Chains A and B, each alone.
Chain A
C-alpha cells in the first residue's frame, strides 16, 4: 500500500497562493498531491519532483468536463483532482499561468465568492436578529436567543473573515498591473 499523509489547508479564501506553494515544496520532497480532503489535501509518497500547482473554481456540467480538462491539458496543465467546483492542476515549472488576463482572474474570485456571499446573506441578518431579540426580550426567549446568537456567531465570524479576504483580493487584483 502506498504511504499517504494529510496536509491542512490554511483556507483557500485567505491563502490560496501559500497552499499551492506548500504543495510544490512537498512535491520536491516526494509528497505528491493525490486528492482533496476535508479542509486539506491528501498527499502520496512518490519520487521528488519539481511541480507547480494551480487552482480554478468553476461549476461544470457533466458535458462540459471533457472540453475544460482538454484545454488545460493541451496548455500543459494536467488535472490532478477536483472537489465540487474546485479543480487542481499541475504542470512543470515555467508553464504559462492558467490565467493570463486580469479580467478573467477577477471573474475567478467572483465565482469563488458566490457560495460564501450567499451564506453571508443568510447568516449576517440572522445574527443581528438574535442580538435584537436578546436585548428586547426577557426570560426564556432571551435565553433562547442568547444560545442562538452564540451558535450563529460560530458561523458568522469565519464567513465575515472570508468575505473581507475575498473583497480585499479582488480589489488588489483589480488594481494590480501584473497582467
Chain B
C-alpha cells in the first residue's frame, strides 16, 4: 500500500465504515455483518490501515475519551478520495454489467 490513490478493497471498506464516527472494533463488525462474513478484516490489517489513513489525513481522531476505543471519522479529503474511488469502481461494474446484458 504505497499510495492510497487507488484504494484496495480493505481500505475501501474501512473508509466506507468511517463515513460515520466509529471505533476499530465497530468497523470490523460493520464490515463483517454487511458482507455476511465474506470479508473479515484482521486486527493487524485494520490497525495498519487506520494509522495509514490518519497519516494521509483521510481520517481524523474524532473522540479519544475512551483510550481503548478511539473514534475516527472521514475528513473532507477522505470523502473526496472515497467518492473518486466509487466512480472508478462504478466504471468497472458498468462495463461488466453491460457486457453480460449484451450477451444474453
Contact = CB atoms under 8 A, between A and B. Distances in A.
Interface of A: 54, 56, 58, 63, 66-68, 70-72, 74-75, 77, 96-101, 103-108
A44 to B, nearest CB: 25
Contacts of A66: 67-68
Looking at chain A's contact residues, the main secondary structure is: helix
B48 A104 contact: yes
B83 interface: no
Contacts, number: 70
Nearest to A96: B40
Given A100-B10, A100-B40, A105 B45 contact: yes
Given A75-B42, A98-B45, A100-B40, 9 more contacts: A67-B24, A75-B28, A96-B42, A97-B42, A99-B42, A101-B41, A104-B10, A104-B48, A105-B45
Residue with the greatest number of chain B CB neighbours at <10 A, chosen from A63, A75, A96, A98: A75
Interface of B: 1, 8-10, 24-25, 28, 40-49, 52, 67-70
A68 B44 CA distance: 9
